[in-house]
Amino acid sequence: MPLPSDERIVKLANDLVAQLDTLFGLHPGFRPAHAKGVMLTGTFTPTHEAASLTRAPHATHASTPVIARFSDGTGVPTIPDNDPNASPRGLAIRFQLGEHVHTDIVSQSTDGFPTRNGQEFLEFLRAIAAGDPSSFLAGHPAALAFVQTPKPSPASFATEAYFSVTAFRFVNAKGEARFGRYRIVPGAGLEFLDDATAKARDPHYLFDELASRIAAGPVRFDLQVQVANSGDVVDDATIHWPADRPIVNFGSMNLTAFAPDDDSHRRIIFDPIPRVDGIEPSGDPLLELRAAVYLLTGRRRRQAGQAHA
Ligand code: HEM
């Protein structure tokens, strides 16, 4: 996959990477955001409803192998899991449709984003790096709302819900198109820790917990798509749709083991754009920009030498 031909997007992507490097420090071989993570493997099984939404292969095949990566927030590879900045957590999923053919979902545990586009996000990161984002927040209500959204520490990566944040255009076999956003809901139910309990946990508690959970049996997530009404804003990650919008049950993912290859972390570059027939990007400006950012930092990581988590 090449970088976009629009030089402004590539420039903004590079500026964002440089700003993340400034904020979190350079950690060669690690991601500049969501640096601390773990990879698992499993299977996705679609519901019958899924094909009414999209003709994408994983919605019609009986099952599709997946790779999933859970992560803490920030570009600090040693961040304690109970650090408040470790939220939002990340969940990236790759559906392996065939040899070198795949489509991804990149999701996070907060439903929303602080800014509508990358330029504003760069300004936000700069304000944080300068030590006082209060005047930025005063002028950007969506960023303020995002910062103020409670982000409690989960009891487990498997008791957290994750959101794609950006919308996609789902097209089914009849050519019918609807916009939707993924929600990835834990089969184990939501469970969070109060601040005092989180503080008392081990800095690696989420990763240790996942190891014992996987050893005991598969970890299930239900994938849902919240579908927009016509007229809903579909190209702005800061805008939530009303809660009464229909939910399509898309399928379930069962994670069964840790990924066997230690180097898979470093190699894999998740793509926020689905690039599969039947699931198209919406006009959200974050999508193309993030695809460029992740490609730049993924290539940098691959060149950095030895395997890292
Ligand atoms: C302009 C906005 C954004 C920027 C600049 C940004 C930046 C980054 C960067 C640099 C990475 C590391 C990529 C890699 O090296 O492979 C990353 C990963 C990630 N981002 Fe973003 N991000 C943005 C928006 C978002 C949004 C809206 C979400 C929520 C859906 C999100 C969720 C994630 C997750 C889950 C990962 C980890 C993926 C993995 O496990 O490989 N990001 N982001």
CATH number for 297: 2.40.180.10
Q: Which residues line ligand 1 (CB under 6 A)?
A: 16-17, 20, 31-34, 37, 69, 71, 90, 92, 106-108, 113, 118, 121, 164-165, 237, 269-270, 286, 289-290, 293-294, 297-298, 301
Any domain includes 136:
no
Q: State mean pLDDT over 264-274.
A: 92
Alpha helices in 114-239 (DSSP H): 118-129, 134-139, 141-148, 195-200, 205-216
- pLDDT tens digits, residue range 125-173? 999 999 999 999 999 999 999 999 999 999 999 999 999 999 999 999 9
DSSP-derived pairing of the beta strands 279-281 and 168-171: antiparallel
- Hey, what are 285's tokens? 């400006």
Instruction: Detail the DSSP E strand segments found in the chain.
Output: 37-46, 64-71, 90-98, 101-108, 162-163, 168-171, 177-186, 219-227, 247-258, 279-281
Residue 126 forms part of a structural domain: no
Residue 270 alpha carbon to ligand 1 centre in Å: 9
Confidence of residue 205 (pLDDT cuts 50, 70, 90): very high
How far does residue 224's CA lie from ligand 1's centre (Å)? Answer: 21
Would you state the pLDDT for residue 266? 82
- Position 263 pLDDT exceeds 90: no
**Is residue 228 included in any domain, yes or no?**
yes
What's the average model confidence in pLDDT over 246-250?
Answer: 98
pLDDT computed for residue 306 by the predictor: 59
Pick the residue whose CA is nearest to atom 7 on ligand 1: 33
Mutate to test the pocket of ligand 1, among 70, 126, 293 (most ligand atoms within 8 A of CB): 293
Q: Which domain holds residue 45?
A: 7-112+149-302
- Is position 117 within any domain? no
pLDDT beyond 90 at 308: no
Number of domains in the chain: 1
Write the residue with the smallest CA distance to atom 8 of ligand 1.
33
pLDDT > 70: what percent of the chain?
98
**Structure tokens that stand for 164 in this block:** 């794609």
Ligand 1 atom nearest residue 297's Cα: 15
Of 294, 295, 301, best ligand 1 pocket probe by most atoms within 8 Å of the beta carbon: 294
Residue 307 pLDDT > 70: no
74 within domain boundaries? yes
Distance (Å) from CA 290 to ligand 1 centroid: 7
Q: What is the percent of the chain with per-residue pLDDT over 90, rounded to a whole number?
A: 94
Q: Is the pLDDT of residue 309 over 60?
A: no
What number of CA atoms fall less than 13 Å from residue 169's CA on the CB side? 15
Q: What is the pLDDT of residue 2?
A: 86
The answer as to whether 269 is a domain residue is yes
pLDDT tens sequence across 42-71: 999 999 999 999 999 999 999 999 999 999
Active-site residue, selected from the candidate residues 27, 34, 102, 140: 34
Nearest-CA residue for atom 37 of ligand 1: 34
Closest C-alpha to 27, from 79, 81, 76, 89 = 76
Which ligand 1 atom lies nearest to the CA of residue 121? 1
Listing DSSP states for 137-149 in one string gives: HHH-HHHHHHHHS
Using the mean position of ligand 1's atoms as its centre, give its distance from the Cα of residue 125 in Å.
14
Structure-token pair, residue 84:
């408040």
Predicted pLDDT at 52: 98
Averaged confidence pLDDT in the chain: 96
Is residue 287 situated within a structural domain?
A: yes
Check if 34 is active-site.
Answer: yes
C-alpha 230 to ligand 1 mean position (Å): 28
Task: Summarize the confidence of residues 99-107 as an average pLDDT.
Answer: 96
Strand-pairing partners, residue 247, are: 226
| Burial call 223-260: b when 16+ CB within 10 Å, e when fewer | bbbbbbeeeeebbbbbebbeeeeeebbbbbbbbeebbe
Q: Residue holding tokens 């399509």? A: 248
Average pLDDT on 220-225 reads 98
Q: Is residue 29 part of a domain?
A: yes
